[in-house]
Every structure is written in C-alpha cells, then in structure tokens.
C-alpha cells in the first residue's frame, strides 16, 4: 500500500498519530506538509495550494491512496484532487466548529471520515454517501515508559481562557479551589500523557457536544474521565457511563468528583486495556484502509471556482487570490507593481467579509 499523506503538521496533531500508525503497518507513507515538524519526517514541504496531481507526476509516484487530514495551520489544501486516478480520502476533525467548510471540502474526496458522528447526516443529505464516523483515538507511541504514581486528584491539560470559554473557566476555578492537589495548565504532548498517567481523574468540558481527544487520552493513561453530558453523538456506542467516564453538570461537579475520589477505586488497568483493545490509532488506520477499499471512486465536477471557495473558507487569502488569477488570467493586471498594489484592497475587502461571516455565525 502506497499512501501520500497530506497534512499541516504544525504541532503534535492527530495527523502525526495516524502517519505513525500507517508506518507501523509497514506501508509506504510519503508525508507532505506546509510546515516543518519536530515530531516526524516530512518528505516534501509544499505550498499551501500546491497541485497534488502535478506533484505525483513530477516524482513519478504510483499512490494507492491520497489522504488529507485537517489540522495545523488550517490553510493547506491541495489542488488537482479531481484529476487523480487513485482513491482519495480525508479526515474532518472539527466539523462541530465549521460544518459548511467541511461539507465543501468533502466534495473533493472519494471518502470522508468525521470525528463527530452527529454530523454524518448532513453529508449524506448532500449526496456525500461515502461519509463515515471515525472517532479520535489514543496514540500508543506516547505512553510513558516508566510506572508513575497517581499524585494528582484531578488533571486538565489545555487552555483556560475566561473570555473564550467562560463556563469552562468557572468550572476549573471551582475544582482548583476544592481539589488543590491537582494539575491545571499547559503541557506538550509527551508531558501531557505523563500528567494524565499521574492523575486519578481528568476533567473535560466539551465544545459543541464533541467527543474530543481527552476521552481517549484520559482513559488510555488510566484516569477516570469527568465530563459533561454529550447527546446524540455516539458516546454511548463507544463508552459506558460510570464505567469509562463519570458525568457532571454545573451544579454537582464537585460532589461527583469527590464521590469518585472517596471511593478509592482503581480503574486504571481496566481503562487502559479498554482503550488498547478498541481505540488506538493503529485500529483507526486499519479502519480507514478497510473502508476506503470497499468504496469506489466518485465522479467529481470540480472547478477552480470550487477551490477558490475552499481557500476563502480557510481564510487563505493568498491561495484564494492566486486561484482567482488562474481563473481570469494575467491580462487584468499585467504590470507586476500594479499587481501587488491591487492585492491590498482585495485582501482588506476579504478580511471584512470573513469578519462579518464570523460575527453572523456567532
């Protein structure tokens, strides 16, 4: 199996976990990114609007699959997808944050995988029938090598911005006060896994009803997840309440956490084994390839206008303008100096449009 994996590898992302899993299975994986990575080898640094069809022909490659994964800079999107002879697939992780953008991106691919199950119906209603649920997972390559004592009552690794997420901020402040022997703050990927391996409970507050990575990171490191209620998104299909997670609301979060800690239950081995058997990225990589194999190539009526629309949604104004230029040609602005000056008002107008769209969305 020859895979070309396209992703913006800005930090330790889901894409890196999947790349490692494909490599673990001894597949040939060629990695393309618009950003250098400290975590994985990148075969080629590409432009954010590079042409994947031209790239394949330039290097005389014979891929079985071109796979695109959301994340990183959120600006990268390859052109030429509709020209490829091999199958194409992509993984949409943050559909709960921007449904319309994901619907638009899916038109370019034969197969779509979504991390959030509740949105699949929106894709199939648009005729995108090869859309499948692929929950996030646990990266076994990050497991701490040494055995660690559970020194924290509660842990939470992530942002805690009062203005962006006031409810989460309020809950964290409440937990900090009641459980001082805890960890709340930032950490790198490897350090985060270590912290969760030292915690009895991991706190979680979902955004827009998402089943986020913290489910898998907490349980995979043997900590009970303390989370809010998730409705109609498939959580009950992959986890069991009061066994794999405990649920709170804003009024009882302290009592729920205290009851679990007072019980002195040690669920760590059970939780780790459950994740190991069901929810690792190696398992997800297998599911991707099995699903893609069953799906055929889809017919696509893609134009440069479609690419321009995606770049605008990604707020990649340079790629958007370059795509517009390819549509209208160079005849409109021939002088290079005038071309540069012409970009200024265009970018300003586009920035205003994006700002208005964001305000309306809220």
Among 204, 210, 260, 196, residue whose Cα is nearest residue 227: 204
Among 221, 180, 218, 183, residue whose Cα is nearest residue 202: 218
For residue 331, the model assigns a pLDDT of 43
Lowest mean pLDDT among 23-32, 209-218, 309-318, 350-359: 350-359
| pLDDT tens, position by position, 159-169 | 888 888 899 99
What is the average pLDDT across 206-211? 95
What is the average pLDDT across 300-311? 94
For residue 163, the model assigns a pLDDT of 85
Q: Which residues, in sequence order, are bridge partners of residue 92?
A: 114
The single-letter DSSP state of residue 65 is: E
For residue 342, the model assigns a pLDDT of 56
What is this structure's pTM?
A: 0.90
pLDDT for 361 beyond 60: no
Residue 327 CB: number of other CB atoms within 10 A? 12
- Contact between 49 and 319 (Cβ < 8 Å): yes
Of residues 361 and 108, more confidently modeled: 108
For residue 354, the model assigns a pLDDT of 60
How confident is the prediction for the chain on average, in pLDDT? 92
| pLDDT tens, position by position, 20-35 | 999 999 999 999 999 9
pLDDT for 330 beyond 80: no
Alpha carbon 220 to chain centroid, angstroms = 18
Among 174, 313, 148, residue whose Cα is nearest residue 254: 174
What is the average pLDDT across 350-362? 57
| pLDDT tens, position by position, 91-132 | 999 999 999 999 999 999 999 999 999 999 999 999 999 999
Kindly report the backbone phi and psi dihedral angles of residue 167, in degrees, each rounded to the nearest multiple of 5, phi listed first.
-65, -45
Of residues 358 and 36, more confidently modeled: 36
In percent, the amount of the chain with pLDDT more than 70 equals: 91
For the chain, how big is the Rg over CA atoms in Å?
22
For residue 341, the model assigns a pLDDT of 56
pLDDT for 333 beyond 50: no
| pLDDT tens, position by position, 40-98 | 999 999 999 999 999 999 999 999 999 999 988 889 999 999 999 999 999 999 999 99
Q: Which residues, in sequence order, are bridge partners of residue 90?
A: 68, 112
Of residues 354 and 131, more confidently modeled: 131
For residue 299, the model assigns a pLDDT of 85
For residue 348, the model assigns a pLDDT of 61
Q: In whole angstroms, what is the distance from residue 142 CA to residue 185 CA? A: 19
For residue 147, the model assigns a pLDDT of 87
| pLDDT tens, position by position, 187-206 | 988 899 999 999 999 999 99
Within 68-155, where are the H helices?
Answer: 99-106, 120-125
What is the average pLDDT across 203-219? 96
Domain architecture of the chain: domains with CATH: 2-137+282-298 (3.40.50.2000), 140-279 (3.40.50.2000), 305-361 (no CATH)
């Amino acid at each position: 199996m020859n895979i070309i994996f396209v992703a913006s590898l800005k930090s330790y992302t889901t894409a890196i976990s999947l790349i490692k899993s494909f490599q673990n299975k001894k597949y040939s994986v060629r990695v393309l990114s618009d950003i250098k990575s400290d975590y994985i080898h990148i075969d080629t640094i590409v432009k954010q609007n590079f042409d994947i069809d031209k790239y394949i022909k330039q290097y005389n490659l014979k891929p079985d699959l071109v796979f695109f994964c959301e994340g990183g800079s959120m600006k990268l999107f390859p052109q030429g997808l509709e020209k490829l002879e091999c199958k194409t697939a992509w993984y949409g992780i943050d559909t709960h944050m921007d449904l319309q953008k994901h619907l638009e991106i899916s038109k370019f691919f034969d197969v779509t995988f979504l991390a959030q199950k509740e949105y699949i119906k929106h894709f199939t209603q648009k005729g995108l029938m090869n859309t499948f649920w692929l929950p996030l997972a646990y990266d076994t390559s990050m497991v701490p090598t040494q055995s660690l004592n559970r020194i924290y009552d509660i842990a939470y690794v992530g942002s805690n911005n009062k203005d962006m997420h006031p409810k989460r901020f309020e809950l964290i402040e409440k937990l900090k006060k009641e459980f001082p022997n805890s960890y709340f703050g930032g950490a790198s990927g490897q350090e985060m896994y270590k912290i969760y391996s030292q915690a009895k409970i991991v706190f979680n507050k979902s955004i827009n009803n998402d089943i986020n990575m913290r489910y898998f990171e907490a349980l995979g490191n043997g900590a009970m997840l303390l989370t809010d209620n998730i409705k109609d998104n498939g959580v009950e299909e992959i986890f069991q309440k009061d066994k794999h997670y405990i649920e709170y609301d804003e009024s009882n979060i302290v009592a729920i956490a205290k009851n679990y800690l007072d019980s002195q239950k040690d669920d760590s081995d059970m939780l780790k084994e459950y994740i190991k058997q069901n929810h690792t990225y190696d398992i997800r990589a297998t599911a991707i390839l099995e699903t893609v194999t069953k799906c055929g190539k889809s017919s696509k009526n893609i134009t440069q206008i479609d690419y321009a629309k995606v770049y605008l949604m990604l707020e990649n104004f340079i790629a958007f303008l370059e795509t517009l230029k390819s549509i209208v040609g160079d005849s409109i602005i021939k002088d290079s100096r005038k071309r540069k000056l012409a970009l200024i008002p265009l970018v300003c107008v586009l920035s205003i449009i994006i700002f208005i769209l964001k305000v309306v969305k809220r």
